[in-house]
Amino acid sequence: MAPGRPATALAPMQDVTDLPFMRVIHHYGDPDYYFTEYFRVHAHSRLEPHILRSITENKTGRPVFAQMIGESIPELVKTARELRRHPVAGIDLNMGCPAPKIYKKHCGGGLLRDPARIDRVLGALREAIPGRFTVKMRIGFDSTDTFPALLDLIDKHGIDLLSLHARTVRQGYRGEAHYDYVRLAVERLSCPVLANGNILSADRALRVAAETGCHGLMIGRHAIRNPWIFRQIREAFGGAPVFRPTLGDVRGYVERLYHTTRTGACPEQLHVNKMKKYLNFLGQGVDPEGKFLYEMRRTRTEADLFTVCDRHLLTAPETPFADEPYDGVIARPNCEGPATETAAVSNR
Ligand SMILES: Cc1cc2nc3c(=O)[nH]c(=O)nc-3n(C[C@H](O)[C@H](O)[C@H](O)COP(=O)(O)O)c2cc1C
């Protein structure tokens, strides 16, 4: 990492941050750190080969942290030991996943309701991991009352890096991120802290870094929308002119995504559906009415998909791609829309 500027990290994202996606991000400008999507840990789990590939075949030249999620302490310890046989930069524990089927067990975001259990989990893993042991968590489950106690546990167990998604588990992906809790963590902890949640742009990264004093910025959905974001952040912090992609550049990104993330045997329609998951985010920067999203979501074939892309991205290819999502253009209405679904664009 360059001295004098905050670090950057690609956030772990299930079904997104696999080896092909990391290759795409590498092309546009690497973050300083990568994190794998989570390895699920349970009694019969084995390291999932497609996630493992993002470690063992990773040619980005950047450190890769392996994330785990699970309930059973002995199984977590066993999995951490297995992961350490591979070239990982560290082992990361997920304490933030808001999916009900996860948090209803004592894992992911559900752990935040039970500090005594966190104490046991972190204690056992710390003992088993001589190298870097990192945690990704939220600021609380349904309130932030226990946040100071959570930070004390992070310190007590000598965690090497904390990635903090500045929302509660109950908030899911909705609403503002509360960066004042990132500042609190930075002030209280001896380990470095990555600020996470709605780092939309290089401008937002500059602001959050200045407000919180964080070690770095972890970016998820906004790197799917804008794969140039890590480069832009480096340029902004270095005082260099910041690259501004055009809609024509975005068309090139769609093409690269399509071909890099398609595995040989994947049927066309299935791959088109997979592309929609990425394009849901990308579409937030294409047009303020969400017309691209509306049309893209209705395509079924590769030819249809690229016809829609060409119409929206190549009619005026020099048009700047919006730096931040257009207001009211929502990527995943069920997850990110307002709690009461009133936004016109999200319902189309
Ligand atoms: C599709 C998707 C999958 C995710 N999967 C994971 C995961 O496997 N592990 C994890 O810790 N967080 C996961 N997250 C949460 C992100 O890492 C990140 O904390 C969250 O999206 C907020 O950051 P952002 O505003 O930069 O996207 C996921 C988020 C999304 C959108």
pLDDT at 103: 83
pLDDT at 342: 32
**Ligand 1 within 6 A of CB of 38:** yes
Which of 221, 279, 324, 330 most suits a substitution to test ligand 1, by most atoms within 8 Å of the C-beta?
Answer: 221
- Protein residue whose Cα sits closest to atom 2 of ligand 1: 13
pLDDT at 251: 98
Quick one: which of 293, 302, 274, 289 has its CA closest to 332?
Answer: 293
pLDDT at 347: 29
- Protein residue whose Cα sits closest to atom 23 of ligand 1: 197
Ligand 1 atom having least distance to the Cα of 16: 1
Amino acid at residue number 244: R
**Ligand 1 within 6 A of CB of 12:** yes
Query: What residue spans of 113-160 are helical by DSSP H?
Result: 115-128, 147-156
- CA–centroid distance, residue 307 to ligand 1 (Å): 30
Q: What is the mean pLDDT of each run of 10 residues along the chain (348 residues)?
A: 83 97 98 98 95 98 98 97 98 96 90 97 98 98 96 98 97 95 98 98 98 98 98 97 98 98 91 97 96 97 98 98 94 77 31
- CA–centroid distance, residue 12 to ligand 1 (Å): 6
Which residues are designated catalytic?
Answer: 97
**Ligand 1 within 6 A of CB of 162:** no
Judge whether 326 and 285 are in contact, CB under 8 Å: yes
pLDDT at 1: 53
- How far is residue 217's CA from residue 290's CA, in Å, rounded to a whole number? 28
Quick one: which of 182, 108, 194, 87 has its CA closest to 144?
Answer: 182
**Ligand 1 within 6 A of CB of 217:** no
- CA–centroid distance, residue 114 to ligand 1 (Å): 22
pTM for this entry: 0.95
Sequence-distant (≥ 6) Cβ neighbours of residue 208 within 8 angstroms: 179, 182, 195, 199, 214, 217
What are 338's two structure tokens?
Answer: 């307002």
Which residue carries 């040989």 as its tokens?
A: 264
Domains and CATH numbers, the chain: 7-238 (3.20.20.70), 247-347 (no CATH)
**Ligand 1 within 6 A of CB of 199:** yes
- Protein residue whose Cα sits closest to atom 13 of ligand 1: 13
- CA–centroid distance, residue 11 to ligand 1 (Å): 6
Which residue carries 């990308």 as its tokens?
A: 282
pLDDT at 3: 63
Which of 10, 13, 324 most suits a substitution to test ligand 1, by most atoms within 8 Å of the C-beta?
Answer: 13
| 110, 176, 272, 273, 297 from 345: Cα distances, Å | 32, 19, 22, 20, 13
pLDDT at 204: 97
- CA–centroid distance, residue 100 to ligand 1 (Å): 15
pLDDT at 25: 98
Q: Strand, helix or coil at 267?
A: coil
Q: Please report the DSSP string for 196-232 in residue order.
A: ES---SHHHHHHHHHHH--SEEEESHHHHH-TTHHHH
**Ligand 1 within 6 A of CB of 234:** no
